[in-house]
Chains A and B, each alone.
Chain A
Amino acid sequence: MAVPTTARDDRTRTIVTAGAGRPDRSARREARRNARVAQGGRRIGSHVLLLVLALYFVIPIWWLFVAATKSTGGLFSSPAFWFDDPMQLFANIAGLFEHQGGIYWTWLGNSFVYSFVSGVGATIVAVLAGYGFAKYRFRGRGFVFGMILGSVMVPLTALVIPQFMLLSQYGLVNTGWAVILPSLLNPFAVYLMRVYTQDTVPDELIEAARIDGAGEWRTFTTIVVPLLRPAIVTVLLLSIVGTWNNFFLPLAMLTNPETLPVTVGLNRWLALSNAGAGGEQVWNLITSGAFISVLPLLLSFLLLQRYWQGGLTLGSVK
C-alpha cells in the first residue's frame, strides 16, 4: 500500500501527511494557484451551488437550535425556523431537571461514562494491536489481520442478539458493562493504527533502540507511543463518538431507565410523546434535550477538526 497522502490546506495538515516528506509541496501549491486564476467567472456559479448545499445541510441543525428555545405551545404555533417570544431555553433546561426527577442528566452522564471508558479501552487495545501488526512479522499475521478486516462486514444484529444472550447469562444486561464491553471491539481502529504505524515509525528507530539494549515493551512505550500521538487522538475521538452515537446496542441491552444513554432515552420520550398521553407529551424537553446532547460533539468537531478529518480520510486514499 502506498503512503496515503492527503494534502488539505496549507495550514492544517492532516495526520495522514504528518511524517510523510513532501518536497514538492510548494510547486504543487503554485500549480494550484495558477489553475485557480485560470478559472474566472464560473466561480460564481460554483459558490451558489455550494451555498445551496450548505443550506440544506445546516437548516435542520438551525431548526434544532431554534426549537430548543421554545415551549411546547411555541413549537406548535410559531414559525419553524425562527424564535418565539419569550425565549424558553432556560425554562426548558429547568424542565429537564424536573421531569422524571432529572433523569435526562443521568442519561447524559451515562453517555459520557460509556463513551469514555469504552473509547479509552478500545484505543489502548488498538494501539497495541496496530503496532504488533505493523512491526512484527510473526506467523499467521496475514491470516489474522485478514479476518479482522473481513469482520467489518458482519452486521450488528448478528452480533448484538447473541451478545445479549451471552451477557444475560452473566447478569450483565441492564448494566453499563453491557454497552462498554462490546464497544471495546473496534476492528477499524486496529486497521487505522496499523497503517499509521507503518507510515510514521521507521524500522531503523526500533532497531536502534534494541541495539541500545531497550526491551520490546520499553521501546514501544518510550519511542513508539510518542510518535503515534496524533493517530491516538484520532482513534480515541472516533471510538468515543462511535459509542456515543450507537443506538442498536444500548437499545437491545438496556431496559432500566436509569441505565440508558441519552440517544435511547430521548427516543423513548419521543415514542411516549407520539403515543399521545397528555402528561407524557414533552416536546419542548425533547428538542432542548437533543440540542444539549449534540453540543459536546459539535464543539469537539469544530475544535478538533484536523483529528476528525485525519481519521476519516486515513486509509481511504490509495
Chain B
Amino acid sequence: MATHTLTTPSRRRATGHARRQRVGWLFITPFLVIFAAFLIFPLIYAFGMSLFSSTLATGTKFVGAANYLKAFTDPLFLGGLGRVALYAVVMIPAQLLVALVAALVLDTLGTWLAKASRLLIFAPYAIPVVIGALMWSFLYSPRFGPAGTIFGLFGLDAPDFLASSAIFGSLVNIVTWQWSGYYMIVIYAALRSIDPSIYEAARVDGASGLQIATRIKVPMIASSMVMVITFALIGTLQFFTEPTVLRSIASGALPAEYTPNMYAYALAFSYSQFNYASTIAFSLAIVVFIGSFGFLFLTRKQNGLK
C-alpha cells in the first residue's frame, strides 16, 4: 500500500508526528467496536459453545473436542460438504465461462447494442437472491412453468426440474443466472484497463482475435480472475438461500441438511441443538478458511498477493 509518511526533520516534530498518528485509532474505533461486538465476540462465543454439550438429562457439560469428532464423522455434515464441493467444481467454472466469454466479446465491441446487452446481463444482480430463487421456482414448476409448452412444441414430455436427479442442474442454473453478470462486470473492468496498443503490436505480428483473447487478455487479467474465483468459492461453500427457497416446492429432492449451512440452521432453529449447530458452523468456517487460503496459495503467482 502506497501511503507516504511525511519526512520529519527534527525530533520534536517526530514525537508530535507519532502522537498525531495515534489519532488514527480514534477514526477506526467505531468500526472496531462493531467488529468486536458482532464478529470477534460471536466467533469466540460459538467456539465456546462448540466445546460443550447440553441435554435435558445431563445438563450442560464440557466435552472438549467431542463435538468436532462427531461432526467430522457425521454423514449428514460430510454429505453436505461433498455436495457443496461438487457445486464449487461445476458452478464456478460455469459462471466464469459465461462471464469471461461475455466480457471478452464486450471488450471488442462498442456499439449501443453491446452496451445494452451489458446492462441486461448484469440486471439479475439487482434482484435479491431470494426473489431470484422464487422466480425460478415458478419457472421450474410443472404447474406454472413454460417447460410443458416449450417441450410440447417438439412433441416431448417436459423434464421435471425439481426431481432429485435434476435438482443439481436446476440450482447451478439459478446461481449462474444470478451471479455471472456481476463477474462479467469485474472481468470487463479489468480488460478495459489493459493498454490496447499491446493488441496492435500482436496484430502486426499476425495474431488472430482468438489468440489475442487467450494468449494476451486472459493472462493479463489473471489477478481479477483469481479474486472472482475466491469470492465464488467462499460463497458456494456457504450455499444456503437458493436451496432453502426451493425446498418448499422440492422438499423431496432437498433434505434439510442439503448443505452444511442448511444443516447448521436446522440444528439451531428446528432442533435447538445450539452446541452442535455451533460446531457445524465452526467446522464449515475451518473448511472455508482452508479452501480459500489453499486456493490463494496455489495461485500465488497469478494473484499478486505476496
Contact = CB atoms under 8 A, between A and B. Distances in A.
B154 interface: no
A64 B32 contact: no
Secondary structure dominating the interface of B: helix
B46 A1 contact: no
Contact of A316 (B117, B189, B269, B289): B189
A157 B216 CA distance: 41
B106 A157 contact: no
A267 interface: yes
B188 to A, nearest CB: 8
B75 interface: no
A158 B285 contact: yes
B121 A133 contact: no
Given A50-B106, A159-B42, A159-B43, A198 B1 contact: yes
Contacts of A164: 268
Nearest to A154: B285
A109 to B, nearest CB: 16
Given A75-B144, A155-B237, A297 B127 contact: yes
A36 B209 CA distance: 11
A300 B199 CA distance: 36
Contacts, number: 324
Interface string A133-156: 111111001001000100111111
Nearest to B147: A80
B128 A263 contact: yes
B109 A293 contact: no
Interface stretch (B22-30, B62-70, B87-95): B22-30
A274 B39 contact: no
B23 A216 contact: yes
Contact of B123 (A50, A58, A152, A312): A58
A65 to B, nearest CB: 11
B98 A318 contact: no
Contacts of A313: 185-186, 189-190
Contact of A290 (B131, B189, B240, B304): B131
B2 interface: yes
A128 interface: yes
Given A156-B261, A162-B43, A60 B38 contact: no
Interface centre among A126, A138, A184 (most CB of B within 10 A): A138
Residue of B26, B128, B238, B245 contacting most chain A CB atoms (<10 Å): B128
B21 A126 contact: no
A222 to B, nearest CB: 15
B171 interface: no
Contacts of B49: 162, 165
Interface stretch (A37-45, A85-93, A97-105): A37-45
Interface of B: 1-6, 20-28, 30-32, 34-35, 37-39, 41-43, 45-46, 49, 98, 101-102, 105-106, 108-111, 113-117, 119-132, 134-139, 143-146, 149, 177, 180-182, 185-186, 189-190, 192-193, 195-197, 199-200, 203, 209, 223-224, 227-228, 234, 237-238, 240-241, 244-245, 248-249, 260-261, 264-265, 268-269, 274, 277-278, 280-282, 284-285, 288-289, 292-293, 304
